[in-house]
């Protein structure tokens, strides 16, 4: 059940956000068009646009195509006043930090090596130092930074602010949001990578419906899914919704040896299966995956056997998710992007869907360039959490 809006300040906050969100996707729009598309009165839209201009979120310029009479004013996002920060902690041995404008364009981005650091406090101090330097070099005032969106690996407990990630012991069971917030003294929002990728991908979809429904399936070191349902990110009570990595794979369901999906649908799991099949030693890295993908495309029978089994397991998972969430579009990200064209037809054939769900109406898309998407997702997270109510009392 959605939380009830309590007062006019919250209504104004939502209406201002709606204006900015619309302008992010539809630049150069008149107040009249904004009012019509958002279902606001013209007076409300006009007043809120003026406030947003004063606060630095949007700007106006005159139309160049006026046919006479009063020249209409066009509104668009102001890319030089308000910013967000994205922090990517999902890779081993380094972190990435970026500052973005409200159109999710990178102003500055850095990669910082951490392979020799075993203390999380030291890494957080490096984050603080790098962000401060980026702001100074870019000439951005800290007060114009709306917040920091943090992408984390594994499972993130929203209520307890704890990361569960055995693959990343440095972050495992740490209160990452509080630690970063205490160091930066800037609003910090944390989310796992799959959810952020779903948020970012949603910005690229032209939906046939008012409220978008999509699934973003991400396979790399592990397995994750981000789900947008009725235009909202699916979270659950603790933030555990759509955590699919420990679903049983269905291949072996005995009590002691049950395989989890992450074992079957991840870079290490797939390459390890191939190595065991032919006694090879492809590295469990992207280098190893690219070599394996090349063997698939070249028709290697052993690689084909492994990927055929992978497609079968993937089809079972997607069949379940499709039947549960009825998406308009499914994004396949991570390692699946390198073999997207090779597996797509076979994957569609193996889907088990009810008769009323036509397979040919289900859209599949490549996930897109991970590094850009993850920062875009961080930026979207910050803006969704940001409130104008705190700006002016």
Q: DSSP assignment of 320-353, as one string?
A: HHHHHH--SEEEEEEGGGGGHHHHHHHHHHH---
Predicted pLDDT of residue 25: 86
Picking from 42, 74, 70, the residue whose alpha carbon sits closest to that of residue 58 is 74
Picking from 338, 302, 300, the residue whose alpha carbon sits closest to that of residue 220 is 338
Strand partners, 323: none
Predicted pLDDT of residue 256: 43
- Of all residues in the chain, the percent with pLDDT exceeding 90 is 62
Could you tell me the pTM of the whole model?
0.84
Predicted pLDDT of residue 166: 77
**pLDDT of 73 over the 60 cut:** yes
The predicted-structure confidence for 358-381, as pLDDT tens digits, reads as follows: 777 789 999 887 778 899 999 999
User: Which phi and psi (to 5°) does residue 331 adopt?
Assistant: -100, 130
Predicted pLDDT of residue 313: 93
| Residues 49, 19: Cα–Cα separation, whole Å | 8
8 Å CB contact between 156 and 226:
no
Q: Which two tokens stand for residue 12?
A: 């104004």
| Residue linked to tokens 């019509």 | 36
| Residues 268, 279: Cα–Cα separation, whole Å | 15
Q: How far is CA 139 from its chain centroid?
A: 27
Q: DSSP assignment of 135-165, as one string?
A: HHHHT--GGGEEEEEEEESSEEETTTTEEE-
Q: DSSP assignment of 229-279, as one string?
A: ETTEE---SSS-TT--TTSB-SS---TTTPPBHHHHSSHHHHHHHHHHHHT
Residue 68: left if φ>0, alpha if ψ -120 to 50, beta else—which one?
Answer: left
Predicted pLDDT of residue 251: 47
Picking from 342, 274, 272, the residue whose alpha carbon sits closest to that of residue 306 is 274
Q: DSSP letter at 360?
A: G
Strands (E), 7-157: 58-62, 73-77, 83-88, 94-101, 106-113, 145-152, 155-157
The predicted-structure confidence for 321-335, as pLDDT tens digits, reads as follows: 999 999 999 999 999
Q: With cut-offs at 50, 70 and 90, classify the pLDDT of residue 253.
A: very low
Picking from 103, 87, 94, the residue whose alpha carbon sits closest to that of residue 187 is 87
The predicted-structure confidence for 11-57, as pLDDT tens digits, reads as follows: 888 899 999 989 998 889 999 999 999 999 999 999 999 999 999 99
- Of all residues in the chain, the percent with pLDDT exceeding 70 is 91
**pLDDT of 390 over the 70 cut:** no
Q: With cut-offs at 50, 70 and 90, classify the pLDDT of residue 252.
A: very low
């Amino acid at each position: 059940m959605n939380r009830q809006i309590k007062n006019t300040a919250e209504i104004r906050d939502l209406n201002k956000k709606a204006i900015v969100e619309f302008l992010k996707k539809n630049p150069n729009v008149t107040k009249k068009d904004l009012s019509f598309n958002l279902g606001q009165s013209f007076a409300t839209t006009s007043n809120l646009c003026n406030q947003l201009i004063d606060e630095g979120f949007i700007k106006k310029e005159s139309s160049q195509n006026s046919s006479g009479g009063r020249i209409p004013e066009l509104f668009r996002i102001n890319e030089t006043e308000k910013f967000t920060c994205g922090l990517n902690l999902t890779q081993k041995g380094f972190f990435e930090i970026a500052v973005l404008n409200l159109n999710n364009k990178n102003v500055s981005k850095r990669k910082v090596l951490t392979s020799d650091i075993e203390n999380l406090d030291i890494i957080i101090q490096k984050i603080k130092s790098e962000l401060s330097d980026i702001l100074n070099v870019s000439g951005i005032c800290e007060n114009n930074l709306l917040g920091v969106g943090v992408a984390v690996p594994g499972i993130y407990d929203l209520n307890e602010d704890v990361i569960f990630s055995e693959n990343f012991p440095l972050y495992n069971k740490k209160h990452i949001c509080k630690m970063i917030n205490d160091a930066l003294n800037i609003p910090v929002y944390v989310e796992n990578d799959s959810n952020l990728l779903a948020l970012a991908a949603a910005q690229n979809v032209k939906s046939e419906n008012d409220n978008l429904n999509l699934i973003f399936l991400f396979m790399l070191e592990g397995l994750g899914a981000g789900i947008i349902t009725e235009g909202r990110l699916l979270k659950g009570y603790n933030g555990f919704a759509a955590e699919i990595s420990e679903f049983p794979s269905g291949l072996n369901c005995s009590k002691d040896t049950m395989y989890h999906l992450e074992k079957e649908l991840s870079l290490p799991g797939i390459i390890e299966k191939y190595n065991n099949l032919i006694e090879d030693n492809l590295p469990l890295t992207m280098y190893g995956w690219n070599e394996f993908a090349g063997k698939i495309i070249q028709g290697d029978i052993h690689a084909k056997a492994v990927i055929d089994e992978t497609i079968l397991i993937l089809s079972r998972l997607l069949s379940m998710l499709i039947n549960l969430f009825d998406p308009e579009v499914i994004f396949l990200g991570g390692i699946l992007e390198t073999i997207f064209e090779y597996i797509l037809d076979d994957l569609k054939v193996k889907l088990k869907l009810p008769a009323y769900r036509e397979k040919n109406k289900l859209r599949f898309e490549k996930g897109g360039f991970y590094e850009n998407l993850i920062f875009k997702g961080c930026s979207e997270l910050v803006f969704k959490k940001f409130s104008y109510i705190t700006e002016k009392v």
